[in-house]
Structure 1
Amino acid sequence: MRNSKGSLMRPDPLPYSASRPVVTPLSPSVVYASDTPDALDDQYEGRVHGYTYSREGHPNADVVAKRLDAMEGVSGGVVTSSGMAAVSTVLIGLLKAGDHVIGANQLYGRSLRLMAEDLPRLGIATTLADPSDVKAIEGAIRPETKMILVEVVSNPTLAVADITGLAKLCADSNILLVVDNTFTTPRGFRPFEHGADIVIHSITKLLAGHSDVMLGYAVARDPAINDRMRVFCVTTGMTPSPFDCWLAERGMLSFELRFDRAQETAALLADHLAEMPGIKRVIYPMRVDHPDADRASELLGSSGCNMVSFELSGGRAAANIFTREAEGLNFAPTLGDVGTTLSHPASSSHRALSADDRTALGLSEGFFRVSVGLEEPDALLQVFANAVRTATS
């Protein structure tokens, strides 16, 4: 409809329906109209709930946040435009110049870079230490230490952090314990039940699960911290797109089924690889030969998750052959797809580290991280058998 000057008039509201949609509607609108300035005041001042400008929040993000809140057993989480946006929201949104943060010495590569290069540039001091050794973490604490960031199961060596010991240390020292729960997911581990103060997820990975979404999530036990993170996220423009949130909700509806199937196959793959000539070592939390097997059993129960790491004999040359021969498997620097993906940390997630630093972490040129997907298990095991045989013969 047009007014007398030919400009478009505001469209009428959507037609009334006595029924409701089964699928959450996609709400791509950037702006939301209010009736009066008083009505807008009511929204901004919290007397009524409503949306104003999608950078400040939109319905699809709220749907995803509430689903994850329920999975983690809290409320008030914020959905961000990526997993690293969630990490940044926690670290940069809550810390200030003069503060000190301790990070696990085995973190996702970009998290390590953020701590090593960007936080110091902002005047935030950082130290890396072994999260499986509480004494090492304790030795790194300073009077200005405000936060400790760890992954339950590290990327990519699958070391298991001493969450119980770290939670007690943080509680005694008035330090925030931040847990990146991306690998383990709420299906495998619920950090708040073990003393965490803040939980981070890359929804991009297992939760959405189809390699077509980029989102993150951060939530704190303390509502005041959630408010601070939300303000930082909105101010810096880390708000997610409605379409990604809409796709993520679809993926999350099947998450538990996908996760259970993938971790069952992962356990089979780990045992299969361990018996193969040409494999130097296999790392899987539920195997008795895992360095942190007792701790993994205590924290994760029988949930080994879907990640398997292994070291191939023959270095980079064998690695190149292996990825070419792994028929039907994608070699890609990510995880959580419905299909199995292969990641080579030395050439992707940890390529920014020096060769010596990678060696110290056990990341040789033959080291691979596998995100196990939903393939038929016997067929997947055969693909690995053929590829390893060809690469190491």
Structure 2
Amino acid sequence: MTRPTSIVRRTGWPTSVSRPVVTPLQPSVVYSSPDPDALDAQYADASGYTYAREGHPNAQVLAEKIDMLEAVDPASGGGIITGSGMSAIGAVFLGVLQAGDHVLGGDQLYGRSLRLMTQDLPRLGIETSLADPTDLAAMEAALRPNTRMILVEVVSNPTIRVADMDGIVKLARDRGILLMVDNTFTTPAAYQPLVAGADITIHSVTKLLAGHSDATLGYVGTNDPDLRRQINDANVTWGMTPSPFDCWLAERGLHSFHLRHRATQDNATRLADALAEMPGVTKVLYPTRADHPDHNRAVALLGGQGGHMLSFVLDGGREAANALTRAAPNIAFAPTLGDIGTTLSHPPSSSHRGLTPEGRAALGISEGFFRVSVGVEDADLLISELSAAVAAATQG
């Protein structure tokens, strides 16, 4: 390292025979090159870093680790980190689609995904429609001659329905249609879309992958180099830039992902069974329960893994919903999921508030509908707290 000649000039990083155990945080927006020829060469072969919007070390480190989980071939160019889960979907749409294309989506997508499908893409001249992903015949009937892409969630948010992924993968392949899978709920610990035959997998890294509700990021993975280039160009051009600090935080969280996945899944299984026995709870949705409408498919597709998400319906409507959240002050009432601690969400007032009451009812989302993102707390504590809250909400 050269010694500084001015306090306003940057200096190189000190050298050492040892190296840091923790990935260094690199917040630099720009990177200097030795000369114009070297900069030309960097742009020509996409090596190294020039400007953080086009890539930075912390995003690359995080992408490569998620690539391992999602079985992304490094020869494709590797996964892409974006500023949020929605920007991951947006980068795919903006990079791949054009006016006149048609996109078919599952009718039980995340609320903002539904808005993107029903309001924003049509504004750009891209046709869209929705169909039930648990019904392959309905999905096939909704295809059009100009269908370019299908977007589905393996497990729907928040209704916990399980898509007919085997059928949808084959349908997309036979028709030459691109298949994008939102794997956020499922995580690659239970399902790997690219291995199953999908073209694109996306994540809200904000959720269980990062796991601590302190980093907002998205991820796109594909094994097709041409698709990867189109998506990355859109990501860079539209400025869907991930923060180095968020990437650094998410990589730290990713180190404990498998431990958290197992612990939250075990807790969710116990909590689902306990909720089903509570007076005032009229329905519980959890994939491995025998009363789940897609139980057999879930067991076959996910290897018997139910995941960390469940939903339940409380008798009594909005008044009871308000009472329940007030009676459970130690369980965060927050529109998020995948945190290391349990969070409670009310889709009618958050993720699906943009739908009409009739639209929510068609999806089975009533005013008493709750989604639970189960954390790693002691399961007995969770059951006790929710049992008391349900009793307070329904027996008043």
TM-score over 0.5 for the pair: yes
Cα offset, 1:221, TM superposition? 2.1
Structure-2 separation of matches of 1:299 and 1:193: 13
Q: TM-score, normalised by structure 1?
A: 0.97
**Which stretch of the first structure deviates more once superposed, 367-376 or 89-98?**
89-98
Give the match for residue 41 of structure 1.
40
Between the aligned partners of 2:149 and 2:300, the Cα distance in structure 1 is 24
Which position in structure 1 is the counterpart of 2:217?
215
Who is 1:149 aligned against? Answer: 151
Structure 1 CA distance, aligned partners of 2:281 and 2:15? 63
Residue 49 of structure 1 deviates from its aligned partner by 2.4
SS of corresponding position for 1:200: strand
Q: Alignment partner of 1:142: what SS? A: coil
Say whether residues 1:392 and 2:390 are aligned partners: no
How many pairs does the alignment contain? Answer: 389
- Match of residue 293 from structure 1: 295
What is the distance in 2 between the residues matched to 1:300 and 1:59?
A: 33
Q: CA deviation at 1:2?
A: 8.2
Residue identity matched to 2:359: D
Measure how far apart 1:194 and its partner are: 1.4
Post-superposition shift, 1:8?
5.8
Deviation per CA, 1:229-268: give whole Å up to 9, x if none. Answer: 1111000000101000000000000011011100100000
State the TM-score, normalized to the length of structure 2.
0.96
**Which residue pairs with 2:82 in the alignment?**
80
- AA partner of residue 361 (structure 1): L
Compute the RMSD of aligned alpha carbons.
1.2
Aligned-partner residue type, residue 67 of structure 2: D
Q: 1:269-291, CA deviations, whole angstroms, 9 ceiling, x for partnerless residues?
A: 00000111101100000001000
CA distance in 2, matches of 1:85, 1:115: 14
Instruction: Select which of 334, 359, 373 maps to 1:332.
Output: 334
**Cα distance in 2 between the residues matched to 1:327 and 1:287:** 28
Answer yes or no: is the 8 Å Cα contact 1:327–1:383 preserved in 2: no
Measure, in 2, the Cα distance between the counterparts of 1:227 and 1:126. 24
Distance change in 2, residues 1:45/1:325 (3 Å)? same
**d(CA) in 1 for partners of 2:10, 2:366:** 61
In 2, the alpha carbon distance for the partners of 1:9 and 1:84 equals: 39
> 1:292-322: per-residue Cα shift (whole Å, max 9, x none)?
0010011101210000100000000000000
**2:357 aligned to 334, 355, 363, which one?**
355
For residue 16 of structure 1, what is the aligned residue in structure 2? 15
Q: 2:236 aligns with which of 220, 226, 234?
A: 234
1:71 pairs, out of 44, 69, 72, with 69
Structure 1 stretch 249-258 or stretch 13-22: which is displaced more? 13-22
Q: Corresponding residue for 1:279?
A: 281
Which residues in structure 2 correspond to 1:102-113 (within 5 Å)?
102-113=104-115
> SS at the partner of 1:189?
coil
Runs (5+) with no aligned partner, structure 2: none
- For the residue of structure 2 that corresponds to 1:188, the secondary structure is coil
Per the alignment, in what secondary structure is the counterpart of residue 189 of structure 2?
A: helix
Deviation at 1:12, TM superposition (A): 3.0
In structure 1, what residue type is equivalent to 2:69? M
- SS of 2:19's equivalent in the other structure is coil
Could you say which residue in structure 1 is the equivalent of 2:55? Answer: 57
- 1:382, distance to aligned residue in structure 2 (A): 0.3
Q: Which runs of 5+ in 1 are unaligned?
A: none
| Identity, % of aligned positions | 61
Contact persistence 1:92–1:119 (CA under 8 A): no
Matching of residues 195-274 of structure 1 within 5 Å: 195-274=197-276
Matched, 1:28 2:30: no
**Preserved CA contact (<8 Å) 1:2 1:9:** no
For 1:166 and 1:332, locate their aligned partners in 2 and report how far apart those are by CA, in whole Å: 33
Tell me the secondary structure at the aligned position of residue 21 of structure 1.
coil
CA shift digits 1:129-184 (9 cap, x unpaired): 00011111111111110000000000000000000000110010000111000001
